[in-house]
Amino acid sequence: MLTKRIIPCLDIKDGRTVKGVNFIDLRDAGDPVELAAVYADQGADELVFLDISATNEKRKTFASLVKRIAERINIPFTVGGGINSVEDVAPLLEAGADKVSINSAAVRNPELIDQLCAQFGSQFVVLAIDARKVDNQWTVHTHGGTKPVDKKLFSWAKEGQERGAGEILFTSMDHDGTKNGFALDPLAKLNQLLTIPVIASGGAGLPFHFVEAFTLGKADAALAASVFHFGEIKIPELKKILIDHHLPIRH
């Protein structure tokens, strides 16, 4: 059985780490380079960096930040935000990214998934999906969760897999920042539907929420932000709890 992964997520805005609730009310959570180093030392399995305010003008700034982070950590990390073409990826790769995460651009141009996988390999491409329940259906949203689109979570995740994406990062906007636990039902359904790994995101508040994500939600990895940034959950303690629940964890 593959080991379950714990992934802190750094949402970057104007060079700082931020965190909100339901994708709004952002507050400062610290310097991303320092946080990244701490998480690597604490035993995080991977890191995710998302430039939530990415624009073409800031792309060079973001690449330099990626480079500064890569120099401080020794674990895989995924970089996303503002990637609209194959050409956007090279600076991030050169800066030290191990994978890229695409979201809005893939919805707008699904062939981008095929292009990135053909150029860099499936293991390099993470399809991030932000979704919330609308009229009892999990509806995909883009642009940092601000725009609902004509795609549904399960069919879009399946299409992403068919186009070559190596992982799905599913964030429940309804659960994000609430600390009430992950969206277990859609996670379990995604696991049933797909053969590629699914990363759970949105809702972590207690160590037991990670246990639920891995057991009831069948997730391959669980991502969280504020509970790690503000010291509410320490990664070594979380891993001990997961091991106590007989989950396969790297330690």
Instruction: Identify the sign of the CA torsion 161, 165, 168, 174.
Output: negative
Instruction: Identify the sign of the CA torsion 200, 203, 207, 213.
Output: negative
Catalytic-labelled residue, pool 51, 130, 176, 220 = 130
Q: How far apart are CA 233 and CA 220, in angstroms?
A: 19
Q: Is 93 exposed, middle or buried (0-12, 13-18, 19+ CB in 10 A)?
A: middle
CA dihedral 77, 83, 88, 92 (to 10 degrees): -20
Angle at 92 between CA 110 and CA 32, to 5 degrees: 110
Distances in Å between the Cα of 36 and the Cα atoms of 46, 72, 129, 159 are: 10, 7, 23, 32
Strands 147-152 and 137-142: antiparallel
11 is catalytic: yes
**Contact (CB, 8 A) for 203 and 182:** yes
List residues with catalytic annotation: 11, 130
